[in-house]
Structure 1
Amino acid sequence: MRHGPSITITLLFLLFLAPVAAYPGDRITGRGFATRSEVFARHGMAATSQPLATQAALHILRQGGSAVDAAIAANAVLGLTEPTGSGIGGDLFAMVWDPAARKLYGFNGSGRSPRSLTLAEFKKRGLDKIPAHGPLPVSVPGVVDGWFELHGRFGKLPMEKVLAPAIGYAREGFPLSELIAYYWGRSVPILERWEGFSDVFMPGGRAPRKGEIFRNPALASTYERLAREGRDLFYKGDMARTMDSFMKRVGGFLSYEDLAAHHGEWVDPVSTNYRGYDVWELPPNGQGIAALQILNILEGYDIAGMGFGSADYIHVFVEAKKLAFADRARFYADPEFNTIPVATLISKPYAARRRALINMKRAARVVPAGEPDALEEGDTVYLTTADESGMMVSLIQSNYRGMGSGLSPDGLGFIFQDRGELFDLTEGRANSYAPGKRPFHTIIPAFITRDGEPFLSFGVMGGATQPQAHAQIVINIVDFGMNLQEAGDAPRILHSGSSQPTGEEMQAGGVVSLETGTPYASIRDLVQRGHEMTWQVGPYGGYQAIGWNPETGVYAGASESRKDGHAAGY
């Protein structure tokens, strides 16, 4: 006998979700799910996924460095302490609030595919999808260029000082945290077969364990040389030649010419107004505007009246996400190869048309992309910094899948990213593979202004989770009145299985995952509306935020309790 979608909810799942009071502790203040208070400071603030990175950022701020200097310092430390999600073999995106110009700047630091690798080569190999590891998914690393572009425009301290904390930790070693040790251990069986990986990331022939000291002298030397000799060492100098010869040896396609041709791009962030708050994202090839599309659709509902954790709220959120992600699958790609109707996609009239497709009583199983003219995985680091002048930085950086491709070039101490996996190998689509093209990107920084003043620099790492979580953070603050820490600690909604820019299409409505703390009555109601529910461990992202209060001149910081997050100021 068929019982419908409820059959997918196991007894174990219900037992996990039923105890809605399973919170971190009995706090005196704040909501029941809050793990800690916000952090407040006047002169500077940093929020990252690793305490050592946060401390490095504060060290730079105390030396008179700008928020950009502090962000680069933190990112460099994360490339060492959290290689499971970051490193100079990956890409970078950032937004910078410049208090002097009273303007928000955007930077797209994503790299392009190798010019010698063609779609015909994939077909010759009989591939219908780009592999997750090895040489084929490797694209040009954009981080180093991004650091120097940001520093050249907004930096104050010399790069020798900015990279000094990371160099020190790489030489002397640092104790591994529990969460990173867990992800590192999971990566080793997958990546140990790839050239160079075990030499750097498996000291003693295994993954380092929690509390053990890990050193990366090769990365220390790389950072030292970059600080002295500059950006072109990586893209046009000895390091570029080392990467070129390494890739030739392992059967790869990334070349010296690809590296020498690389350049990041300063871009104008785009925004929508959600109930008086201007929410800013970067335009494609990233997925940031999906968060804006979700918010525009949801603005037509009384979200506050529905209540946090209610079945009505979760239902409309998931349905709005499905609609936004259908457009994401069809339109989001490298704008140098496509005309992307960004202004229409994030417009209120278009949102109204899409909103009309939502049935409050039934979950959609198939959702078409809109007609504007008429990925589930990914490990990343997000960080945010702010300085005494009022400059604020929202920065995100990633290898894509955890520790990336697994390939570590000779003597340089990092791993090449595998971001090229996110191309579509079907011809004629927006995100179809082409030489010299930027792949669809999941990593997105975010920013909020209010009445022309900076309000919040924030982001949430985690593949396709990111735009969903961005929208939830905004809703938690604006509709549900949460503070910055509560907005991040609140149980999250995650829908998986939407159509993808890599060509997959949603056929059965996907699945909904809800964190502990969601009322059972809401789950039961959602099942009755046709949602397939599931239980997942760990895909809910990693949040950091810094808010600014112009009346008091005080920063507020919040960090991710699901990770090793740390917000601190002075």
Structure 2
Amino acid sequence: MADRLTGQPFTTRSEIIAQHGMAATSQPLATQVAIDILKQGGNAIDAAIAANALLGLVEPTGSGIGGDLFAIIWDAQSQQLFGLNGSGRSPISLPLNYFSQQKLTAIPAFGPLSVSTPGTVDAWYEMHQKFGSLSMATLFQPTIDYAEQGFPMTETISIEMALSAKHLQGFPNFAQTYMPNGMTPTKGTLFKNPHLANTLKHIAKYGRNGFYKGDIAKTISRYMKDNGGFLNEEDLSQHKSEWVTPISTHYRGFDVWELPPNGQGIAVLQILNMLEQHDISRMGFGSEALIHTVIETIKLVYEDRAKFYCDPDFNHIPIKTLLSKDYAQKRNALIHYKANLQVGSGMSGSHHIGQNLSALNHGDTVYLTTADKQGNMVSLIQSNYRGMGSGMTPTNLGFVLQNRGQLFSLHPQDHNVYQPNKRPFNTIIPAFVTQNDKPWLSFGVMGGPVQPQMQVQILMNLIDFKMNLQEAGDAPRFLHAGTSQPTGKKMTQGGYISLESGFSASVMQGLIDRGHDIQDLSGEFGGYQAIAWNDKKQVYFGASESRKDGQASGY
């Protein structure tokens, strides 16, 4: 294939460039709502909330008020980053031994036992209270209008809805909410969700307590009890998001920021600390040496992830050690020419791991980023976990409860073992990059437990290979799967690699010769949005890749 005007041999397009504001989401209507809010005088935080609310309607396959939310916010006034952990906890009334009594060795993927407290609504209100300017009623109104009047379903989301429905249509109220005329809406079909409109009107009127206390909380609690679940009014009323300090590492002149556990963002920083010891740019994009080095690094870091990443309220996590350059050097010494078939954590201590759970790679998420004329920027990620979540659809509320609780381990000695009122290991991670203490990049990549791998590839594309913002997301990706998980599941021997189209046959053969197993994971390569700030030119650059239905736009 001949190189395009951009200088890259893969299909891409130009970046979006604007001066006053920018939004990039995984669904065009949500992007346009964010821009509308900015033009009304709202700031980046307002725009992010409004866009996320709409995504719960137009992209229920990866988002909704039944799920969790994480955000990193650059506050232009104070010139600093703020982190928000909006993840929910497990039911207080559900003990660990209940699972063994039911003869379960893992938490089921769907149904009532996988449900944890939804954190999204509280997170919106925390963001709004600290930084917002327009009223929440104003921010919810576009979603209410689309929910009542209908919107045309987009292509990728329609496919994912049909896939989710195969697993979820048997759960009470799911089909009534999402399968009008007995099927999920196909591409271009108008879809309405009047129950969700009424729920948002109620929340707009009564605030966050309108969701976590009162009629909605009673409805959720009653529905769960009637259908074998444990989430109740006490869980909802006690939920609260947590403002946290982002953590970072320095990579070739840039500071990369993530949120601390219970998320997996620290894995990005660990991987970068190891890759910094290699001449990545000289290896060349898409080369056998590059892919091998990155995959071997991922294997080592993901063993630490399996061992340590969990709710920090329940276990000590040695973050300082995990992020140290000395530790990265020691781990890097374990990388050789041949694929490593057996790896473990670099720190002592007992840790039980069971068998591989390949299904963990099937997580659906929405990532969005917004920026305003004052210089505020938001990096926000939100999810129900597996597609549309647990399938548990509370009566007449218009949304599905998340199944994030499936990510707990049931092995008592694991850091991430299930306990009541505990936050599960969480896969969704927003990211931010600064340079010389100024904002440079707000970005994220959807894709469940492989998000750290894809974030690292974006950063290498931008920093090491000097791609522009759009090229960095459109470039073909490679993934490693079959890795040990915090759920207590063990990797297959060495795991396996999956390559998108765009890598040469000689590279694939070279990886096989090094001992790597190559398998096809078509459709598992995530979705990327980003906004970059060019301080010299005083403009924003935006990007949204072609793997999803998304759009970047500015004004």
TM-score (structure 2 length as normaliser): 0.97
Matches within 5 A, 1:231-270: 231-270=208-247
- Specify the alignment match of 1:219 in structure 2: 196
- Specify the alignment match of 1:292 in structure 2: 269
- Specify the alignment match of 1:31 in structure 2: 8
- Specify the alignment match of 1:379 in structure 2: 364
2:320 is aligned with 1:343: yes
What is the aligned-residue identity percentage?
59
Q: 2:346 aligns with which of 358, 362, 370?
A: 370
CA–CA distance in 1 between the matches of 2:253 and 2:534? 16
- Specify the alignment match of 2:427 in structure 1: 442
- Specify the alignment match of 1:192 in structure 2: 169
Q: Which amino acid aligns with 2:341?
A: R
- Specify the alignment match of 1:271 in structure 2: 248
Q: Which amino acid aligns with 2:52?
A: N
Q: Which amino acid aligns with 2:460?
A: I
Q: 1:87 aligns with which of 47, 64, 73?
A: 64
Asked if the contact 2:500/2:522 (under 8 Å) is kept, the reply is no
Q: Which amino acid aligns with 1:319?
A: E
2:190 is aligned with 1:205: no
CA–CA distance in 2 between the matches of 1:147 and 1:381? 15
> How far 1:28 sits from its partner (Å)?
3.1
Aligned with 1:136: secondary structure? helix
Q: Which amino acid aligns with 1:123?
A: S
CA–CA distance in 1 between the matches of 2:510 and 2:550? 34
- Specify the alignment match of 1:540 in structure 2: 525
- Specify the alignment match of 2:46 in structure 1: 69
Q: 1:529 aligns with which of 514, 518, 523?
A: 514
- Specify the alignment match of 2:540 in structure 1: 555
Matches within 5 A, 1:151-166: 151-166=128-143
Deviations 1:438-495 (A, max 9, x none): 0000000000000000000000011112000111111111100101100000110100
CA–CA distance in 1 between the matches of 2:329 and 2:490? 24
> How far 1:238 sits from its partner (Å)?
1.2
Identify which range, 375-384 or 306-315, moves more after superposition.
375-384
Matches within 5 A, 1:448-463: 448-463=433-448
Deviations 1:289-331 (A, max 9, x none): 1011111101000000000011000000000000110000000
CA–CA distance in 2 between the matches of 1:334 and 1:150? 22
Deviations 1:493-543 (A, max 9, x none): 100011110111224100100111112111111100000001121100110
Aligned with 1:464: secondary structure? helix
Q: Which amino acid aligns with 1:395?
A: L
Aligned with 1:399: secondary structure? strand
Asked if the contact 2:280/2:290 (under 8 Å) is kept, the reply is yes
Gaps of 5+ in 2: 350-359
Asked if the contact 1:34/1:485 (under 8 Å) is kept, the reply is no
CA–CA distance in 1 between the matches of 2:545 and 2:539? 21
CA–CA distance in 1 between the matches of 2:163 and 2:149? 25
TM-score (structure 1 length as normaliser): 0.94
Q: Which amino acid aligns with 1:368?
A: G
- Specify the alignment match of 2:474 in structure 1: 489
- Specify the alignment match of 1:14 in structure 2: none
Aligned residues: 545
Q: 2:104 aligns with which of 108, 120, 127?
A: 127
Q: Tell me how large the CA RMSD over aligned residues is.
A: 1.1
2:447 is aligned with 1:470: no
Query: After TM superposition, where is structure 1 displaced by more than 4 Å over at least 4 residues in a row?
Result: none
Identify which range, 204-213 or 447-456, moves more after superposition.
204-213
CA–CA distance in 2 between the matches of 1:480 and 1:308? 7
- Specify the alignment match of 2:353 in structure 1: none
CA–CA distance in 1 between the matches of 2:318 and 2:369? 29
Deviations 1:34-72 (A, max 9, x none): 421110000000000000000000000000001010001
Matches within 5 A, 1:315-354: 315-354=292-331
Q: Which amino acid aligns with 1:369?
A: S
